[in-house]
Structure 1
Amino acid sequence: MRLEYPAGGALATSGAQARTQALPRDRPRQPTYSSLNVLRVILGVAVLLYHLGATLALDKYFGVDLYEHIFGFGGARIPFFFVLSGFLLTIVYARDIGSPARAPGFLWRRAFRVYPTYWIILLVVMAPALFFESLRDAIPHDPLVLVKTFLLIPQHPSVAGATGAPVLVAAWTLHYEIAFYLVLAVWIWSRVAGIALCLVLAANMAVCTEWQCGFYNSFLAGGSMLYFAFGAGAAWLARRLPPLPNAKWLTWVAGLTYLFIAVLTHGDDLGVAGAHDPSIYYGMLASLILLCLTRVEDESPRSEGPPWLKVLADSSYAMYLIHFPVISLMCKLLTGAGLRGFYGATVTLVVTLGVCLALSVAFHLLVERRLLVFRGTG
């Protein structure tokens, strides 16, 4: 199951959902965790506010950096997205591990979940460049770069913009989501092959921590891949550990500690994992939070939460993909309408947040949900 941000997906995440996908009829449906839906919404809005605050601080718009400082720790939201994605996918597909016949179906469902929505939004964002020459510099001119952009193949930032994902710059997280899908597909195909692949990835991480590596080796050695491993590990423990008597208390402690580290490091983006890299602590704490939250719900009367929460959570993937272009458009429109200074930035913050949420929900209900009908179960 993909984190629909964050996917990724998010996450792609995504390319990084808290509700469990429909599973094949020969195995029981996994439980639904409303607390994970809440997390998906919180993390999705944190991403939006993080980028919105940074955009409002630009001199060409409002030059107001207050919101950039307030929401700056939103940079710590991506680690949680990746851990959550690894957790959910492993919870849902753990029973398929070692079943080669299920691997193609898994890859099909993941691809159909990520790509159609991504392609639609990508084409919508690219379309104005056909009519306005001033926008064409934002579109890759190299055919190979363009193909990689549509296929979500990782690219070096120096080749394809600041994140390695042209046009939809936030789509860099989907590169890691897809990499994790491939790793999990290998596990589903063969346990032995899965173990061997993870050993190779661990060796690659160790080498790249000490020496300079090529782009793709460094990509796979990044802390981002480690987050999925933390999430998968938490899912493995969730199926085996006895009840946790202090799960609620541990959730609060882990959550506050995570927030403290995020504020302390200002949510800095993390590179290659190392002994002093906060990614280790982010991964451990996020895993503990997920483990405790699901244990609390497992030991309580089951509740899926209000319907609107599920809709917002399911819209988080669309929100993740559209929020950056919408932020840019709204800032241009509202500054063009005469809004200036702190007042203008505040109005823009509120209006843009509302527009992003409304467009995300509308896209999910009118487009995304209908597309998923053709995906099949799982």
Structure 2
Amino acid sequence: MAPPAAREKAPRLPSLTGLRWFAAFAVFGFHLFTGGITDDPGTQRFLGAVFSAGSSGVPFFFVLSGMVLTWSSRPGDRAWAFWRRRAARIVPSHMVTWIAVLALLTVAGRAVAPGPAVSGFFLLQAWAPDETYYFGGNTPSWSLSCEMAFYAVFPLLLPLLRRIPGNRLLLTSAGLWAGTWVVPFVSFSMPESIGYWFVWIFPVTRALEFALGMTVALMVKEGRWRGPGLPVAVVLVLVAYATVPLVWQRAGWVAWMAGPFAVLIAAAATADVREKRSPLRLPVLVWLGEISFAFYLVHQPTISLVNRVLGRTPAHALLVTLTALPLAVLLAWALHRLVERPAERLLSGGRPGAA
């Protein structure tokens, strides 16, 4: 069998699509934990035990983004064509949900100020070290602001990483992961609010995870990945996830999980390339992974809306969860079918962008 790099088109990686759902669900759980859905201390402790580290789904998506875009890239692909495909992939769904959320907030008497509303609409909010900007409107969209920055530099960054000798890719990956550990230490010299933005929001520091995913893709493409298999990688990520609350907070935001996520993504991709068994390829997981971007966009406003509409009862947290989850999946499916895919076909010039 020819190595993946030698083929005209890289093979699909459905296990990575399946993994996307788990990351999106972790973020959903995190927003349940932080969304004020319960007044019961025991229930809140339970949500914290399960989902306090759920925001680590965002580092997963950043590493995955670098991996998938590098994997699907082709020699001779022009920058403008790439940018058009990526814009077609995320901008229409973002605009629809952004406008819908602004309208709902206005009706609820919590209208977003013009500055955050406009900057968020154009996905520039992550560049402002001000919470009213980067968390204004549809809060999860701040990560799309980072993604747009990653897309902007990808056509320039990929040729540079491709020049790295294959036997040095592992060292490069280690250096990028080490960089995610340097960032929280640098933030020590900053005021607390700026330090949070610098570690968690700032597109430049978050680009380390994106570049890490790119180097992982190059290793897998060249058949140089020698890390653990999928079962061991899953255990590694679960242990890291469970221990996030025990880690220094600023390191726990990104650095603690970025390395294990890179290992998991490489292991899952390798399992697909070598056609090894992978439960992540189950059709239901692949389907959920395909709508995970839309789910990510709609999940927090869905939780907030359901929490506001349902009256407080002893089982309020359970009712919110059991209502918001299927409703968010339904809304995500509709957004995926009616906006995301049609807009992608229309605007990407006939070639759908990578997930």
Shared fold by TM > 0.5?
A: yes
Residue 168 of structure 1, aligned match among 133, 138, 142: 138
The residue type equivalent to 2:213 in the other structure is G
Task: Please state if 1:293 is matched with 2:268.
Answer: yes
Out of 279, 286, 289, the position equivalent to 1:310 is 286
Instruction: Name the counterpart of 1:88.
Output: 68
Equivalent residue runs for 1:73-152 within 5 Å: 73-93=53-73, 95-96=74-75, 99=76, 102-128=78-104, 132=107, 134-135=108-109, 137-142=110-115, 145-152=116-123
* Secondary structure at 1:319 match in 2: helix
2:296 is equivalent to residue 323 of structure 1: no
For residues 177 and 254 of structure 1, the distance between their equivalents in structure 2, rounded to whole angstroms, comes to 25
Question: 2:65 & 2:41 partners in 1: Cα distance?
Answer: 35
**1:260 positional shift:** 1.9
Name the CA shift for 1:340/1:352 in 2 (closer, same or farther; >3 Å).
same
Question: Per the alignment, do residues 288 and 315 of structure 1 end up closer, same or farther by CA in structure 2, a change over 3 Å counting?
Answer: same
In 2, Cα distance between equivalents of 1:111 and 1:187:
18
- 1:232-278 alpha-carbon deviations (Å, 9 max, x no partner): 1111111223575x843xx333322222222222398975xxxx667
Residue 24 of structure 2 contacts residue 295 of structure 2 at CA under 8 Å; is this kept in 1? yes
1:355 aligned to 312, 327, 335, which one?
327
Alignment RMSD = 3.6
Going from structure 1 to structure 2, the CA distance change for 1:314 and 1:256 (only over 3 Å counts) comes to: same
**Contact 1:110–1:181 (CA<8 Å) still a contact in 2?**
yes
Q: Normalized per residue, which structure has more helix?
A: 2
What amino acid sits opposite 2:147 in the alignment? Answer: E
Aligned amino acid, residue 313 of structure 1 = G
Given that 2:127 and 2:203 are in contact with CA atoms closer than 8 Å, whether structure 1 keeps it comes out as no
Q: How does 1:142-221 map to 2 (within 5 A)?
A: 142=115, 145-153=116-124, 154-158=126-130, 160-161=132-133, 164-187=134-157, 191=160, 208=186, 212=190, 219-221=202-204
Deviation per residue, 1:53-79 (Å, 9 max, x gap):
3224554x9994132332222122222
Identical-residue share of aligned pairs (%): 26
**TM-score normalised by structure 2 residue count:** 0.77
Q: Supply the distance in 2 between the matched residues of 1:278 and 1:260 (Cα, whole angstroms).
A: 15
Runs of at least 5 residues in structure 2 that lack an aligned partner in the other structure? 1-6, 165-174
Q: What's the CA shift string for 1:267-324, capped at 9, x where partnerless?
A: 98975xxxx6674442222222222222222222799945544332121111111111
2:34 maps to which residue?
A: 54
Asked whether 1:372 is paired with 2:347, we answer no
Q: Distance in 2 between matches of 1:193 and 1:293?
A: 22
Closer, same or farther in 2 for the Cα pair 1:362/1:270, shift >3 Å?
farther
Deviation at 1:226, TM superposition (A): 1.7
2:238 equivalent in structure 1: 259
Q: Counterparts of 2:31 and 2:105 in 1: how far apart (Å)?
A: 23
1:34-63 per-position Cα deviation (integer Å, ceiling 9, x unaligned): 21122011111111122113224554x999
- Which residue number corresponds to residue 236 of structure 1? 218
Output the CA distance in 2 between the equivalents of 1:269 and 1:362: 40
Count of residues paired in the alignment: 321
Match of 2:170 in 1: none
TM-score, reference length from structure 1: 0.73
Relative to structure 1, is the Cα distance of residues 43 and 267 closer, same or farther in structure 2, using a 3 angstrom cutoff? farther
| Change beyond 3 A, Cα 1:205–1:243 | closer
